[in-house]
Structures are given as C-alpha cells and as structure tokens.
Amino acid sequence: MKRPNAVRHTPVLIVGAGPTGATAATLLAQYGINSLVLDRWQGVYPQPRAVHLDDEIYRLIARLGLADQFAAISRPACGLQLRDRDHHVLAEFRRDPAPGVHGFPRANMFDQPELEQLLRDNLARYPGIELRGNTEVTDITPVDGGGIRVSYRNRSDGTTMVVDADYVLGCDGANSLIRSRIGTSMRDMHFQQRWLVVDVATEADLHQWEGVHQVCDPHRAGTYMRIGKTRYRWEFQLLDGESADQFSDLAALIPLIAPWIGNVHEAELELIRVTEYTFRAQLADRWRRGNVFLLGDAAHLTPPFIGQGMGAGLRDAMNLAWKLAGVLGGDLPPTALDSYEQERKPHARSMIRFALAVGRFMTAGGDVGNLLRRIVVPRLGLLPGVRHRVVDSTTPALRRSALVHRRRGPRSLTGSLCPNPVLADGRRLDDALGLGFAVITTVPLKSTQHALIKDRGATALCAAPGSELARWLRGGHTTAVIVRPDRTVMRSSRRVDDLLAVLPELHSGSKSSRSSLLECNSGEEERAATTEESGRTT
C-alpha cells in the first residue's frame, strides 16, 4: 500500500492506554519521541484489577516522575502468611519495611484505577503525546517503504481515521486485536482456574495482620489483602458449578469473608465489586512482526499468585522504549529491536512458571497435599534461604542478547538490575544517571576513556571505596560495568577498555536529558575528587 500525502504520520502509535501503554508513551516522550495513543475508553477503566507491584516496578514509576504521587495512593505490605483451611498460620514471611536495593518498599498495595489516573494525568506533561480515547482500531497494514497504516474509528459517531506510523505497539490487552492482525497466537501453559474476586470498603478496623494471607486449601484456596486505608481484596477459587452470580451481594459473601471480618457488621461494609476471573497462563508465540510489537497482556498472561501481571507489562515498556528511541534517533541499529523478545519472553516465561508453582502449591494435592503443607511448610519458614526467596522481590536476570553480554557464573551481574543507592549529594543513582548508558567503575578513568564515554552520550561514575556500588561490583567479581538506560547491566569486566569497545551511543532526546552527569576526571592523582562521594556534576 502506498502512503498518500494527506495521511497523518506519527513515529509511534500505541494501541491501549492502560498502565503498559501509558508507560511506553511517557518513556518515549522522555527521549523526545512523539506518539499517538489510542484507547477504547474515554477515561480510566473504573474497575479495580491489579493491586500489587514490587520495588523494581516502583523504581520504574519513579523514572516516570511519579514516586511521590504513587506513595500517596499505596501502602507497603509487610509480608506473607500461609494459612491452612482452618486459618491456622502455617508459616509467616515478614518483609523489612525499609527500602530495598531499588530504593523503595519491596511490596506495595494499590488500586489500579488510581494508578492509571496518575499515569494518564502525567501524559499531559509531554506535548509530544496525543491521547485519543473512545477509539477502536479496525485494521493495520504495511506501507510501502516501511511503516504501518492504522485505521481506527471514533466509537461515538463512527468516524473513521487513518494514520501512518513507523512503529506500532500493541498494548491492547488479553483480547488483543493487534496480536490477531500480525498472525500471532497465545500458547497455553496448561493452567486455568476460575476465581471470585471481591473488593470491599469499610471504615472499620478488621484487626488483621497487615501482610497478604494465602489460604492453602485445595477445597477453597483464597487470598486476603489490605489494599488501602479502607479498601480490602479477597480472592477465592470457585468450585465446580459455582459462578459470581451466586455471590452478588454481601449476604452471600459473608460466609467466605467471615474469618477476616470478625465482629464487623455487614452494614459497615460496602461492596465495591464482585466478579469472576479465569486465571490463565499463556505466552504469545511471537512478540513482533516487522515494526509491530506486542506488550503486556497482549504478549503474556499470568495467574496473580505472585502479583506480577501488571509489572510484566511495565517491564516490557521499559525494555523496548529506549531501544525504539535509539533506533528512531539514529543511534542504534534496527537490529537492536531484536533483543526485545529475546530478553523479555524468557523472563516472562520464568515469572509465569513461578506463579504456577505457587498456585499449584496453594490448590493442588487434595487431603494428601494438605497434610504435606501442614508438616513441611512450617519447617520451610525456619530456613533462612527459603525465607529470603519468598520475600525477595528480585526477578531473574535477562538472558544473553546483543545488548546483554552475559557470561556464565552464579555471581555475574550481567542481565540483572543495578542497585539504586543514595549518593553522597542526596540523589538516587537513577536520578544521577539520566536517560543514557552509564559506565560504573571503581577504577579511575583516563582522560581518553572519559572523553569516549562522554562522546557516546553516556555517564561515567566512579564508585567510592566502601560504598554500596563498590560492594555490589565486588560481589559480582568485577571492577566495571556498562549499565543500560533501563538499568540492566549490559556487560561487566575488570578492564574498562573492554567495556568501552562495546559501549553503544545513545544521544536521543533533548540535550538537557542527555547524560554525562557524574563524570570522573582523568589521572590517578585526581581520584579523590572523582568518587561517588563528591557528587559533582557537569
């Protein structure tokens, strides 16, 4: 199809303005990349869905400039209790309330519509983002010379419009039209359960332990979470023959939630929502076709047992946005985009499998499984390694790609996120590094090395002896790393020159956002003035 002169053009068209689409648009705008965002809804979809995100995703929200706003609508969760069918505590795993290595609480409860409103309101800060609600994409076709033509209609009056885009991001959910248009299907990972999801508000104090309660019962598995000051969420596995229609009011729900509400009277409770969800585990067999990419639920579906569904979509957006900006800005080759699926698909698969393991532990095994849970689980809680794994929010390292030069070794830093400590000048590392690549090292840089780093739009940071960054590097048996714009370690080495030989350029975005912030001076004699403690910027 040829491109008529009258057809409007946008560098990136994003289908779906949920958390994934809004995040992708914001990240692209930070690099100066304009986008058109289309969504079926005129405003935020009002029903609560996701209620948890970890500190890695909180760190990403801070990257969007929304850390304080999110803190105002969320609350940290203090850990996890595993309970039997009689609500006896089998094991308790407490989380340290202090910020973790990423600078934020490790587990956070929130109401998704409130977060989506923050994300949508934040779009208005960027004139390069245009959001059109109440629209529905009807077709996408390739355009001669590259790019994609997208047809969409206004759902109110039926008006049809056409736009050409260099790239299309399908962030349009589990029933993705974009996925079907590029001929990709979801591969089933052999899990399907029907669950009842209940949201309740009350001013009454339920006097419950403030963490997440998981009821490990094959007859009726369940979950309890306090979402906010007055908001609570319950999830119960539905039995054969049951449906949400049988639990449409509080009177029908009281027998299920009674173990948690104690003496609180039904009149003190407000039923916000009750609905049925079918929890599935699925992964798209292909996440890209040409210049069309799938993100979020369009690419993967996970049961909610570890609270990583929404976070996976935001990780997709973070992984792809800076690469797309680099390609559109001419700094990165188009082949850099191949790494998106190479990195994200195995990571998503790993997280889904972990969620499946947790779900099966909660629900499988019948009476024999219940007996094993009574005997084994309390002892697992006494093992430090197991306790750490349950409460640790760290996700797996990315696999090898053109932008992850991963070497074998259990302590390798490559593919994992760098920490986000507070520097001596009071800033978090993320705030100091800016939007580009960074070289973090304990070795003073020569003037030629410093000049090369600066020429490629990157930041150089010398970690002070004994600092958190220095300890992190030492723990990975290295003295220097390349950190990507998404804060993933691209490569580690004991020789800075080895890193500089593969350091990519990334100058995309306005000059004010290009990184070269914490620079190391040249020369051994100037070491003290170039450490992390100095906090000096240029």
3-state secondary structure 26-54: HHHHHCCCCEEEECCCCCCCCCCCCCEEE
Domain with 256 in it: what CATH number? Answer: 3.30.9.10
The pLDDT of residue 394 is 79
Which CATH number characterizes residue 333's domain? 3.50.50.60
What local confidence, expressed as pLDDT, does residue 536 receive? Answer: 31
> Please, what is the angle between helix 309-328 and helix 19-30, to 10°?
30
The least confident of 237-241, 301-305, 371-375 is 371-375
Q: 236 pLDDT exceeds 70?
A: yes
Q: What is the pLDDT, as a whole number, of residue 407?
A: 76
Q: Average of pLDDT values for 304-316?
A: 94
Q: What percent of the chain has a predicted confidence (pLDDT) above 90?
A: 78
Q: Which pTM does this prediction carry?
A: 0.92
Residue 530 domain-assigned (yes or no):
no
Q: 458-468 burial, b if ≥16 CB within 10 A, otherwise e?
A: bbbbbbbeebb
Give me the half-sphere count of Cα atoms (radius 13 Å) on the Cβ side of residue 296.
24
pLDDT band per the 50, 70, 90 thresholds, residue 363? confident
Percentage of the chain beyond pLDDT 70 is: 88
CA 59 – CA 419 distance, rounded (Å): 10
How do beta strands 135-142 and 129-132 pair?
Answer: unpaired
Within a domain: 520: yes
Q: Check pLDDT > 90 for residue 299.
A: yes
pLDDT of 358 = 85
Same domain, 181 and 192: no
Instruction: Inform me whether the pLDDT recorded for 529 exceeds 60.
Output: no
Give yes or no for a contact between 399 and 342, defined as CB atoms under 8 angstroms apart.
yes
Question: 66-75, 389-398, 445-454: lowest mean pLDDT where?
Answer: 389-398
Instruction: Answer yes or no: do 259 and 300 share one domain.
Output: no
Give dist(CA 367, CA 483) in Å, integer.
49
C-alpha radius of gyration, the chain, whole number? 24
Look at the chain and report how many structural domains it folds into. Answer: 3
Report whether 83 contacts 381 (CB < 8 A): no
| pLDDT, averaged across the chain | 90
More confident site: 92 or 478: 478
pLDDT at 96 over 50: yes
Is 139 found in the same domain as 122? yes
- Residue 134 and residue 24 share a domain: yes
Residues 496, 431, single domain; the answer is: yes
What value, to the nearest 5°, has the Cα angle with vertex 240 and ends 238 and 246?
60
Tell me the average pLDDT across 437-453: 96
Residue 342 lies in a domain: yes
Q: Based on the domain organization, do 32 and 152 belong to the same domain? A: yes
Domain identity same for 138 and 15: yes
Domain membership of residue 62 (yes or no) is: no
The domain boundary residue, chosen from 241, 257, 280: 280
Among 280, 301, 320, give the residue marking a domain's end: 280
Residue 202 has pLDDT above 90, yes or no: yes
473 and 515 co-located in one domain: yes
Among 511, 528, 522, residue whose Cα is nearest residue 452: 522
pLDDT at 538 over 50: no
Looking at residue 537, what is its pLDDT? 31
Q: How confident is the model at residue 512 (pLDDT cuts 50, 70, 90)?
A: very low
Residue 521: the pLDDT is: 37
pLDDT digit string (tens) for 495-510? 999 999 999 999 865 4
> Does residue 316 sit in the same domain as residue 419?
no
- Asked if 257 and 290 sit in the same domain, the reply is no
Measured between alpha carbons, how far is 118 from 126 in angstroms, rounded to an integer?
Answer: 14
pLDDT digits (tens, 9 = 90+) for 156-193: 999 999 999 999 999 999 999 999 999 999 999 999 99
Do 19 and 160 lie in one domain? The reply is yes
In a domain, 291, yes or no: yes
Predicted pLDDT of residue 366: 66
Q: Give SS3 for 444.
A: coil
Range of the domain at 216: 188-280
92 pLDDT higher than 70: yes
Could you tell me if 217 and 88 are in contact, meaning their C-beta atoms sit under 8 angstroms apart? Answer: no
Same domain (yes/no): 432, 347: no
In a domain, 248, yes or no: yes
Residue where one domain finishes, among candidates 329, 352, 375? 352
For residue 385, is pLDDT > 70?
no
Of the candidate ranges 68-72, 270-274, 296-300, 369-373, the one whose mean pLDDT is the lowest: 369-373
Instruction: Give residue 264's Cα distance to chain centre.
Output: 36
pLDDT in tens, 258-296: 999 999 999 999 999 999 999 999 999 999 999 999 999
Give a yes or no: residue 123 inside a domain: yes
Beta strand extents in 122-269 (DSSP E only): 129-132, 135-142, 148-154, 160-170, 186-201, 212-215, 222-226, 231-237
- Domain assignment present for 329: yes
